[in-house]
Each structure stands twice: as structure tokens, then as C-alpha cells.
Amino acid sequence: MPARRVDPAELAIFNSLFASVAEEMGVTLGRTAHSPNIKERRDYSCAVFDREGRLVAQAAHIPVHLGAMPTAVQAAMPLAPFAPGDLVILNDPYLGGTHLPDITMVSPVFVGRALAGFVAGRAHHADVGGMSPGSMPLAEELLQEGIVIPPLKLCERGRLNRAVYDLLLRNMRNPDERKGDLDAQAAAQRIGEARFREIAERYGPARVRRRMAAVMDYAERMTRAAIARIPDGVYEYEDFLDDDGLSDEPVRIRVCVTIDGSSMHCDFSGSAEERPSSVNAVAAVTRSAVYYVVRCLLDEAVPSNEGCFRPVTFTLPERSVVNAGPPRAVAAGNVETSQRIVDAVLGALAPAFPRAIPAASAGTMNNVSIGGWDGERGRSFAYYETVGGGAGAGPEGDGPSAVQTHMTNTMNTPVEALEMAYPFRIVEYAVRRDSGGRGLHRGGDGTRRTWEFLAPATVSLLTERRRLAPWGLAGGAPGAPGRDVLYPARPEPVEGRAHEGGVELPSKGQVKVQPGDRLTIETPGGGGWGSPSRRSLRPS
């Protein structure tokens, strides 16, 4: 029997209702969190799921979180049966997580005794333990990156598991701040449960279930229609990470995209094997990066839900850099390898969409973690930030400058907030002029950000596009590579190459700093699009 036609207006209303739940969860989390990373940078994501754990709606948060979050909800399912007041917590990348600082909470929503669905939130915590402050080290195994939390019930029937809660906090730096962020995340879950329950009670659980299915089916139809506009064929591309942090050998990301009617298959055979460092990505992160690219092909009005994923299938070689297994470290896989996967898929589709695909963007989140002991405040501190770069130019115009691109969607932390919370100051934050690639349309410029340290600290860097520049398209020039330079206040030996009174640091690694030292991060520009010689022919 054919499905009953759903009124388009009603479909739009229910889609907005479901999305509003996730949006309000995010507002709650941002306003009640303690760390600048969550309350200022908004490094979090929230979403709504049906009874089977299928993504129904999400807020406009972090792409790398949202595409991978369904895996976390599925990982929580074996803890059933659920009851009102249950709250599942996890961060294990091999059991539903992405990397350890991203802690996910999943909670069921009941109407009476009937399960209506789930709400989930994921937030990047500034520290979850491990071998270095910020929990983003260049590690060789997962346990070095922080405490590993398998899916477990932090709350059961509304009662907090105090022993588990205390154990988590005892293994994290600056536990007071971590407690504030975990409590804020739990509060966001309760808000999501209440709002979801209100919708189900107002319209009835059965009707809500049907509209959830209809919203997902609509997204699938729109996604298949977009894929069907791509000429059938096989499209291949490969791109590289600069290195894995332990050797200078580039790390290959290879993809073969097959378009067959309204279906897309992405085969990553030929990608590098697992590396002995943290550049490995788990399968959920790889899928999330591809889903992001597919979502970019759709109209903004198309809902982002499980329906968008249905037309896309994968071949992910086991024990590869795009499908790692335990005990491999994965911190950089989530933030850096995901970016290069996006570049590779966009590069593959560029011949099929020559008037739509942009040149490569900065291709890195430029991850900076700083931590140590704040003597003035009498406490440990841990800080994490991603720094924006240049976006790739496209057929329609120049790339924006100084923005977060692709798999990250955070804001920057305001200078005032940083200096109030941490023992360092920002002495420069500027656009890195002329770092975008030349072309008919220029790539966006990167940024330059300089920290001056007021206390001894450990700095961890996970950055990319320092050797292999973001590529241009249609004759456009590549963007300028990035650079990380330490300017010591004292003439003490620091590993790296001399650079204009400072030391150019490796793109991935760790360095100890002292008061008065300065660290400058220069982020890559985006690639240019079209021949530079054509730019002068444009009407002014």
C-alpha cells in the first residue's frame, strides 16, 4: 500500500519542532557550561533520535560531531531496557565516540511508559586526562590520550552514579571546570527530554513517530535527487596529510566515488594503513566527513537527518587510517584526518561538478592545547582552541578569510575571555594577508594568532597543511601553507628550524614554554579558483 501523502506544511512544521529541541539543548549547554571552549567557542552538538536510534533532527552545530553521533546512540542501545531518568555517557572512539575529549550523553524520552525516542549531546571537554594537558597529544595509543569511557549509565532512573562521576573527575585536570561542563551537559539533556516529551504529548506518540519517518524519507528523496544530478561514473582522487608526526612520510587518503543513479559509494581502498600516532580516524569519523560533503550538495532547506545518509555506502579497509582499530590513538584523526577526507571527496567530485566544487580550504583545524599550573589562581588549567584559516575560492567568488571551515563550525574564543580564565595573553590576532591562493577568484586568507605565556605550560600542537599546501582548482594557485613558530624569551634550545628570531616547530608535537615565551600560529590560506590571468579581465 503506498504511503499516505504528508502535507508539506505539516512536514515543515514537524521538522522545525524536532530541530528546535536540539537548538534549545545547545543554548542551555552554552549558557551553563564553565569552560570557554564550550560556553564561548560552542564546541558542542545536539540532536534528536527516534526509538530505533535514527537521527531525526540536529542543530546547526559541529559537522564532525553530528555525522558520527548516530554511532554513539547505537552504542548505547545494548544498555536497554531504559527507564525515565536514565542518562548514558561515553567517549570511547571504538564504541560510538570520535576522540576522547568529545564526551557524549544519550538519554531516552518517555511518554508515560512508552519510549518516544532519544536526545543526545556531544561536547569537547578541555581536558579528559592523559599524558598532556588538553588531552590532544601526539600519542601512540589510545590510553595516552585520556580516560576511556565505554557506554554506561551515569544516571539510572534519575539517580546519579556518584562513584562513576567521582572517578571521571579524579582523572581529569581542573576537575571543578570539568564538573561544571558535565553538569551543564546533563542539564541540556534534561531540557531536551522535556521539550521532546511536550511535542509527543501534544500531538500524540503515534503521530510523532509517523512524522519522524516522513521527515527522514523526505531527506532521502532530496538527497537521491541531488546525487542523481551527478553524471554516472567513477571519480577518483587522493590527497595527503603532511605526516603522522613521528615520521616525515605523507599519509595518503584515497577515495573512489562511484555514482550509480541516485546512489553514491565511497571506496577508500588504497588509503594508508594505520599509523603509530594519533592521525588515525575511526570509521564513524570517515563516514561523518563524507556525509558532510553530501549535505553540502543539498539545498539548505533539506533537513539533516538519517535520510541523507541512506543513499551513501562505503568500503573502509580495516586497520587503515580511515578505519582504525584499538588500541590506536585517534585524537588527530577526528580533527585533522577528517578534514583531509573532505578534501579528497571534494577533489573526486570536482570534475563532475566543475561549477559547484570549491578549491581546497585551509584543511586543518590548527589545534592548540595549553595547560599547566596557574600559580596566581592556585589551580591547574587546560585550554583548547582551533584557529580559523582561509576558505577555498569557488566558481561564484572569492573564499572567505579567517573562518572555520568544513568539519569544524566553532567560533573563536574572545581574547577577553581567554585572559580572564588563563595565565596567558593574546598579543596579536590578525588576518594573514595574501595567504589565499591567487586565481580568477582568490582563496580566503588565513589568520595569525600569538599567545604570550605568563606561567610555565605545556603546549600540544596538532596542525596540518604546513608542507602540502591547499590545492587550487580550474587553474587557481594553492593557498599558502601554515606555520607554527615559538619565540623563546630566553636563549634555551628548542627543537625546530630557526625562523626570524624564533623556532619553527613541527606541525604535530609538544613543547614546554616559560613565562615571556610567545607562540605564533599562522594558518593556511584557501586555494584559488580559475586562472589568475582572468582576474584582471573582470569588470571592476
What HEC string does 436-487 produce? Answer: CCCCCECCCCEEEEEEEECCCEEEEEECCCCCCCCCCECCCCCCCCCEEEEE
Confidence of residue 8 (pLDDT cuts 50, 70, 90): confident
Instruction: Specify the higher pLDDT residue, 303 or 390.
Output: 390
CB 189, CB 107: distance < 8 Å: yes
**Residue 496: pLDDT band by 50, 70, 90 thresholds?**
low
How much is the pTM? 0.95
Mean pLDDT of 300-320: 95
CA–CA dist 244, 246 (Å, integer): 6
Position 112 scores a pLDDT of 93
- Rounded CA-CA distance 512/507 in Å is 15
Average pLDDT of the residues of the chain: 94
DSSP state of 429: E
| Segment 334-356, tens digit of pLDDT | 999 999 999 999 999 999 988 88
In the predicted model, is pLDDT for residue 4 greater than 90? no
- Is it the case that residue 441 has pLDDT exceeding 50? yes
pLDDT at 1: 36
pLDDT, average across residues 293-308: 91
Mean pLDDT of 430-437: 98
Q: What is the pLDDT of residues 96-135, one digit of tens each?
A: 899 999 999 999 999 999 999 999 999 999 999 999 999 9
Copy the grid coordinates of residue 461: 600542537
For 203-262, what is each residue's pLDDT tens digit?
999 999 999 999 999 999 999 999 999 999 999 999 999 999 999 999 999 999 999 999
Give residue-wise pLDDT tens across range 262-272: 999 999 999 99
Residue 467 φ then ψ, to 5°: -115, -45
Res. 540: pLDDT tops 50: no
Q: How confident is the model at residue 539 (pLDDT cuts 50, 70, 90)?
A: low
Looking at residues 378-405, what average pLDDT do you find?
A: 96
Residue with cell 538527497: 223
Residues 80 and 77: their CA atoms lie apart, in Å, by: 6
